[in-house]
Amino acid sequence: MKMDRWRASARRILKLSSRPDRAPRSAPDRGNPARYGSLHCSGRSCRGTQFYFGHQQPLSVHLREREFASGASFIQSRWFGSMATKIQRNPKFATINSDDIRYFTDLLGDKNVIQDEDALLAANMDWMRKYKGSSKLLLLPRSTEEVSQILKYCNSRCLAVVPQGGNTGLVGGSVPVFDEVIVNLGSMNKVLSFDEVSGILVSEAGCILESLVNFLDSKGFIMPLDLGAKGSCQIGGNVSTNAGGLRLLRYGSLHANVLGLEAVLANGDVLDMLGTLRKDNTGYDLKHLFIGSEGSLGIVTKVSILTPPKLSSVNVAFLACTDYLSCQKLLLEARRKLGEVLSAFEFLDEQAMDLALNHLEGVRNPLPALHKFYVLIETTGSDERSDREKLEAFLVHSMEEGLISDGVVAQDIQQASSVWNIREGIPEALMKAGAVYKYDLSIPVEKIYDIVEEMRNKLGHSARVVGYGHLGDGNLHLNISCPQYDDAVLAQIEPFVYEWTSKHRGSISAEHGLGLMKADKIFYSKSPAAVQLMASVKNLLDPNHILNPYKQLQELIEHNLMVKSNAIVGKWSSSPCRYQSEHWLSSLGDVIQHLISAI
Ligand code: FAD
Ligand code: MLT
Ligand code: ZN
């Protein structure tokens, strides 16, 4: 079995194209569920539980246009799909004029200054088709120097800027809110160096994650990060969102793996922090400010990242559990029994499975029946025999303990791919099912499924509540799927979901970021003191607030307003292009009221 190749080839159900307006995915043909044999149980009783192998039909990998690409009708669009997002354009920002266009054309050349309406459509719209800006200008720099000149100019003109990578973000952070200039890093896509001894990769920020995966594969290494959007998302976008994904359980977050980066500040200064050292305790480690700052502090132009060697033995099991408690116990067992070879522990509930089966081409249930919960476990190690034995021992024990009610273990790459396809295809299945309210929560594992059940009780039949996610990381993706967007449904979800999460000391954004969707929700997860410090950092690095405006804390700091101890306090530094509008402040009042009630 050539397990070393399966990740790089057919595993993905969703290969988004590198163009934001297309989202082709590779998918297996739909076939009937078929049973092909049972796992060898080492002569021990399996309590009647059988393990079925997936169907051995080849995956037909084909690219297709996103069905909801421009012009198609079945996806319900809704701009600003979150309650408190009532924003007006900040009049302090300049609007693009012909001198600006001339400047950018001289700097970048005609073909890298995009004004064509059709071309701008995709860059203005997010992946979920929930957020839509009206930018008239998309810039495609090819070097750090060009990024620097762009920002220096925009800062001097007070032109707002949205840094953009693959535009796969799920919180409306990657698209303009109004007419901000879009700076897309896609043309900065070179691998700069790779050290085969240390496994340290240095690349430009616009490299597509999947290209890096393929590059590393040829060198016998892997990226420490893997996610369903890898065919489109860029490493700079991954770093800027501190994307988590499917391997965090094993390799940790990007805070652990990014060794250095280069970023351009709002005033055009280039900050070279592109170290390649594992250890460097000289002063503050400033790169961490840029990991997860969602384009609000600077544009990441280069990244240095530690990559693990590719291991030869990969096993994938897809297991059924009768209740959430069993999933939880299974996680504990997996940690104990699989230890260092455990590389993924994902879960989905019956609603998520139903969506995948009904909305994804070629996806089928590898088990003969439907179940309440499913767990996908992956092991990655270097000794095929011993890894397999470990997995078998774990499965047998879990069956004996009654934690698993059924399951399959993939016997080849295709089977492993089709199992992963189910899990990774859920976001797309949700999009196809209609409107979706998406929440990304970190919650103590024992509480994770309570919010799903509470939400179901609250919403009754008006919506379908779906739970899946990175259980091994305590990360639930709570999604509420409806035929169309409905304010009455939203009013039942928010602020309840945020209050509940905050009450349980969780995070309202585990891995997707705040973006525009949760720009005003930060106080549910961070203390006023921490938020104040963040605002000070923002003011220091981007005093004119030109970078990704209206998102994160921007509205509050822009108006010299912060919330502390139920009162609005604080004054922040003034900037040359600061201008305050009474009118804008009054709409901001709603947001502030909301924040005050939250703390
Ligand atoms: P974009 O969407 O273009 O931008 C995201 C944010 O980063 C924006 O605020 C933008 O301004 C900023 N930004 C982008 N590039 C730069 C740069 N060079 N410098 C400064 N700021 C920049 N996320 C997870 O964490 N885990 C998952 O498992 C996961 N799975 C996904 C599956 C699907 C199908 C989809 C559609 C999305 C998924 N995501 C996931 C969300 C998304 O893919 C990640 O957030 C990804 O890291 C975004 O990268 P991007 O290049 O598309 O960035
Ligand atoms: C995932 O884990 O599939 C992604 O984070 C996307 C999502 O939350 O839908
Ligand atoms: Zn996720």
Q: Are 267 and 148 in contact (CB under 8 A)?
A: no
Read off the tokens for 162.
């949205």
Read off the tokens for 539.
């003011």
Cα 509 to averaged position of ligand 1 atoms, centre (Å): 13
For a ligand 2 pocket test, name from 12, 230, 440, 476 the mutation site with the most ligand atoms within 8 angstroms of its C-beta.
440
Give the pLDDT mean for 112-141: 97
Decide which of 599 and 90 is more confident: 90
Q: Strands 138-139 and 181-184, how do they pair?
A: parallel
Ligand 1 atom closest to Cα of residue 427: 34
Identify the domain boundary among 184, 219, 243.
184
Q: How confident is the model at residue 559 (pLDDT cuts 50, 70, 90)?
A: low
Whether 67 shows a pLDDT value over 90: the answer reads: no
Q: If DSSP states are collapsed to H, E and C, what string results for 186-234?
A: CCCCCEEEEECCCCEEEEECCCEHHHHHHHHHHHCECCCCCCCCCCCCE
The range of the structural domain enclosing residue 538 comes to 532-598
pLDDT digits (tens, 9 = 90+) for 296-329: 999 999 999 999 999 999 999 999 999 999 999 9
Split into its structural domains, the chain has a count of 5
Q: 362: domain CATH number?
A: 3.30.70.2190
Task: Give residue 577's pLDDT.
Answer: 33
- Average per-residue pLDDT for the chain: 83
Which residues contact ligand 2 via a Cβ below 6 A? 228, 426-427, 440, 469, 477
Give the pLDDT mean for 62-66: 23
Q: 250: domain CATH number?
A: 3.30.465.10
Q: If DSSP states are collapsed to H, E and C, what string results for 442-507?
A: ECCHHHHHHHHHHHHHHHHHHCEEEEEEEHHHCEEEEEEEECCCCHHHHHHHCCHHHHHHHHCCCE
Q: 89: domain CATH number?
A: 3.30.43.10
Residue 40 included in any domain = no
Whether 77 shows a pLDDT value over 60: the answer reads: no
Cα 586 to averaged position of ligand 3 atoms, centre (Å): 36
**Percentage of the residues of the chain whose pLDDT score is greater than 90:** 77
Closest ligand, as measured to the CA of 438: 2
Identify the domain boundary among 524, 546, 576.
524
Count CA atoms within 13 Å of residue 84 on its CB side: 23
Q: How many Å apart are CA 344 and CA 326, to the nearest integer?
A: 17
Cα 317 to averaged position of ligand 3 atoms, centre (Å): 19
Domain shared by 394 and 481, yes or no: no
Residue 585 included in any domain = yes
Domain shared by 146 and 78, yes or no: yes
Closest ligand, as measured to the CA of 474: 3
Ligand 2 atom closest to Cα of residue 346: 2
Whether 473 shows a pLDDT value over 90: the answer reads: yes
Whether 540 shows a pLDDT value over 80: the answer reads: yes
Task: Give residue 556's pLDDT.
Answer: 61
Residue 322 included in any domain = yes
For a ligand 2 pocket test, name from 426, 431, 438, 507 the mutation site with the most ligand atoms within 8 angstroms of its C-beta.
426
The strand order across the sheet containing 406-409 reads 406-409, 313-321, 373-381, 342-349, 464-470, 475-482, 435-442
Whether 590 shows a pLDDT value over 70: the answer reads: no
Identify the domain boundary among 265, 280, 306.
306
Whether 47 shows a pLDDT value over 60: the answer reads: no
Closest ligand, as measured to the CA of 248: 1
Q: How many Å apart are CA 174 and CA 295, to the nearest integer?
A: 8
Residue 571 included in any domain = yes
pLDDT digits (tens, 9 = 90+) for 421-450: 999 999 999 999 999 999 999 999 999 999
CA-wise closest residue to 155 among 264, 266, 271, 294: 266
Q: 504: domain CATH number?
A: 3.30.70.2740
Ligand 1 atom closest to Cα of residue 126: 2
Whether 2 shows a pLDDT value over 50: the answer reads: no
pLDDT digits (tens, 9 = 90+) for 268-287: 999 999 999 999 999 999 99
CA-wise closest residue to 26 among 68, 66, 62, 69: 62
Task: Give residue 557's pLDDT.
Answer: 61
User: Which pTM value belongs to this model?
Assistant: 0.85
